[in-house]
C-alpha cells in the first residue's frame, strides 16, 4: 500500500499537511478559484407589478442563467487547475501521496487516482481539510474572501 494522508502516521500527517498548506495557498491565489466562484449572472429583477406568468418566466430564466453560470465557472476552474496551473495542481497531489514534486512523473496516473480516492474517502481527512479551508478563507492574506 502507498503512503498518503489517509494512512500515514499522525506525525507525518501534520508535517506533510503543513507542506501542502504552503502549496495550496499559492495555488489558490494563482488559480483564483475563489474569485471564479464569485462570478454570478445578471438576474431578472422580480417586481410586485409582474403577473404570475411573468414572475414564473423570470424565475425560470434566472434558474437557467444560474445553472449556465455554474457550468461556466466549473469549466474556468478546470481550465485553471488542469491546464494553466497543472504543475501546481500536480505538486499538491504529489505531496498528498508523500511524493516529492520533482518526482511526480515517477508514478503512473493510477497511483495518484487510487491514492486520491483513498484520501477523499477518509472522512477524518476531509473534515480536517474542510475545517482548515473555513479558517483559511477568513484568515489567509491574498486569497479572495466570502
In a domain, 109, yes or no: yes
In a domain, 144, yes or no: no
| Distance set, CA 116 to CA 51, 66, 120 (Å) | 51, 30, 6
Classified as helix, coil or strand, 78 is helix
Global confidence as pTM: 0.78
pLDDT of 143: 47
**What's the domain count of the chain?**
1
pLDDT per position as a tens digit, 83-132: 999 999 999 999 999 999 999 999 999 999 999 999 999 999 999 888 87
In a domain, 113, yes or no: yes
Query: Nearest-5° angle of CA 105, CA 78, CA 120?
Result: 65
> 98 burial class (0-12, 13-18, 19+ CB within 10 angstroms)?
middle
pLDDT of 137: 53
Which range marks the domain in which residue 107 is found?
10-139
Rounded Cα distance, 108 and 41, in Å: 40
In a domain, 3, yes or no: no
In a domain, 77, yes or no: yes
pLDDT of 44: 97
pLDDT per position as a tens digit, 39-59: 999 999 999 999 999 999 999
Amino acid at each position: 500500500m502507498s503512503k498518503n494522508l489517509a494512512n500515514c502516521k499522525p506525525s507525518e500527517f501534520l508535517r506533510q499537511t503543513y507542506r501542502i498548506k504552503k502549496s495550496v495557498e499559492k495555488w489558490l491565489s494563482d488559480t483564483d478559484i475563489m474569485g471564479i466562484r464569485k462570478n454570478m449572472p445578471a438576474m431578472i429583477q422580480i417586481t410586485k407589478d409582474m403577473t404570475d406568468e411573468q414572475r414564473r418566466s423570470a424565475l425560470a430564466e434566472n434558474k437557467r442563467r444560474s445553472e449556465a453560470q455554474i457550468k461556466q465557472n466549473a469549466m474556468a476552474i478546470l481550465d485553471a487547475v488542469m491546464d494553466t496551473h497543472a504543475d501546481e495542481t500536480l505538486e499538491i497531489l504529489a505531496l498528498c501521496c508523500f511524493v516529492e514534486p520533482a518526482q511526480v512523473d515517477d508514478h503512473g496516473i493510477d497511483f495518484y487516482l487510487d491514492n486520491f480516492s483513498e484520501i477523499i474517502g477518509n472522512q477524518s481527512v476531509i473534515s480536517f481539510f474542510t475545517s482548515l479551508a473555513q479558517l483559511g478563507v477568513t484568515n489567509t492574506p491574498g486569497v479572495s474572501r466570502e
